A = this chain, B = another copy of it.
Amino acid sequence: MKKTLFIGGIKSGKSLNAQNYILASSLQKPIYLATTEFIDKELQERINAHKQSRMDSFETIEEPLKLYNKILECKSAILVECVSMWINNMLYHGFTFADMKEELEKILELDKTVVFVLNDIGSGVIPDNALAREFVDISGKLSQLIASKCDEVYHTIAGISTRIK
């Protein structure tokens, strides 16, 4: 029951590689846990493109907030796509860093195979506005938490995932 993190920039190819990774290592059809909540036209197009690329390989379920409860019910390996969107949802609904940390710690202790996908957003210039800085901070700290508990961590650039742990 392995935990794995795929981290990388926007359009780095981390999602596709995470999908191929979980498909290659699962005997049963894995579960695609979509954390998306806020849908505009642009995001819907991205989601549709993602769905096409998944085809029938995954069972798709959706949960924007209560990941632990959802994952607890899963009977096969789970791809959490993605943690960054979940952080966004949690902040929007007034949850704190401590809440997110607690939720993730519970998941990381579960006897389940979970693959986390997360945007690396901390390598650009420090954002002007305080909210964006808070998001970068929380994202970075939770990345560290997840990576510290994962068996394998992959960093993706230009579609190439390099194992760093």
Q: Is the CB of B160 within 8 A of A164?
A: yes
How many Å lie between the Cα of A118 and that of B159 in the bound state? Answer: 14
Considering the complex of A and B, which 8 residue pairs feature the smallest CB-CB distances, nearest first?
Answer: A124-B124, A11-B140, A9-B122, A144-B159, A9-B123, A147-B158, A123-B123, A143-B158
Closest to A150 in B: B158
How many Å lie between the Cα of A144 and that of B135 in the bound state? Answer: 27
> Within the oligomer, what is the number of copies of this chain?
3
- Distance in angstroms from A84 CB to nearest chain B CB is 9
Binding site for B on A (CB under 8 A): 5, 7-13, 42, 118-127, 130, 132-133, 135-137, 139-141, 143-144, 146-148, 153, 155, 157-160, 162, 164-165
Closest to A9 in B: B122
From B11, B127, B133, B136, give the contact of A141 (CB < 8 A): B11
A124 contacts across to B, CB distance below 8 A: 9, 121-125
The residue among A7, A10, A127, A155 with the most chain B CB atoms within 10 A of its own CB is A10
How many Å lie between the Cα of A133 and that of B43 in the bound state? Answer: 12
- Distance in angstroms from A155 CB to nearest chain B CB is 5
The residue among A122, A127, A143, A159 with the most chain B CB atoms within 10 A of its own CB is A122
Query: What are 10 inter-chain pairs, A to B, with CB distance below 8 A?
Result: A10-B123, A10-B137, A10-B140, A11-B140, A12-B143, A120-B158, A121-B125, A123-B124, A125-B132, A160-B164
